[in-house]
Amino acid sequence: MLDGKSAIVTGSTSGIGLGIARAFAAAGADVMLNGFGQPGEIEATRAMLQRQYGVKVLHSGADMSRPEQIRAMAAEAAEAFGHVDIVVNNAGIQHVAPVDQFPDEQWDRIVAINLSSAFHLIKAVVPQMRARRFGRIVNIASAHGLTASPFKSAYVAAKHGMVGLTKTVAIELAEFGITANTICPGYVKTPLVEAQIADQAKAHGISPEAVVRDVMLAHQARKEFVRVDELAALAVFLASDAAASMTATALAMDGGWTQH
C-alpha cells in the first residue's frame, strides 16, 4: 500500500508511534524512527523492522523541543530516502496538576513537544512535498483535542492546537496534493498512560484501579483501552492513495468517549 514511500514518525521508539512505524514498514514504506530510550534497544528495534519488512529504517534522536534538531532530522531523512512523503507527528508528554499549581516549565515543555514540534516538522518537509505534489501529514492529537478534562491544562491546550494547526495546513496545501488529518485517540495503554494513571491517582486521592475504571474509561462506551494496532491501521489508510480526498479532518478513535 505504501511501497516506494518514506515516512518520519516522531516519538516512535515505543507506544503508539512504534506501532505506526511498524505498520508503515509492513506496508512497504521506509521509516525514520525518532525518540529516546536505551540505545541498544532502539538499535535492535530498528534492525528488526528493517530485516523483517525489507525496507530502510533509520533512527534520529532529535529532541522535539529543539527546532534546529527537528530540521536536521527532516534533512537527514530526505537525504537517506530521496524524499519524505509522510510525516506523523506523534511525540508527546504529559503532566497533571491543577491549573493554579501547574509548573511554568511543564507548560512550556508540553506545548513545545506536543504542538510546536509538529509545526517545525511540517514547515521543514512541506517545500519538497509541494514540489512533488504529494504529501501526507498525520497528526496524533487526542480525544483531549476535542474535549477537556481537569488537571490537564497544557495537554488539552496543545492537543486542541494540534487540531487547529492540522485544519489550517490542510486548506493551505490541498491544491498541491498534500493532505493533513488528525487522529484523536481515546485512552491507549502505553507507557505515557501508565504514568498518567499514577499521576491521576495522586491528584484524585484514589487507587490506580479506580482511575482506570472511574476516570479514564468512565465515559468510554466500550470500557476498553484503544489498541495501538487500530490506530496504526488508520494512520496507514490516511497515508495511502485511498485517502486522497480526506483532509482537514479530526478523526476520533475513542470507543465513544467524546460522545458521552
Residues marked active site are found at 155
One-letter-per-residue 3-state SS of the chain? CCCCCEEEECCCCCHHHHHHHHHHHHCCCEEEEECCCCHHHHHHHHHHHHHHHCCCEEEECCCCCCHHHHHHHHHHHHHHHCCCCEEEECCCCCCCCCHHHCCHHHHHHHHHHHHHHHHHHHHHHHHHHHHHCCEEEEEECCHHHCCCCCCCHHHHHHHHHHHHHHHHHHHHHHHHCEEEEEEEECCECCHHHHHHHHHHHHHHCCCHHHHHHHHHCCCCCCCCCECHHHHHHHHHHHHCHHHCCCCCCEEEECCCHHHC
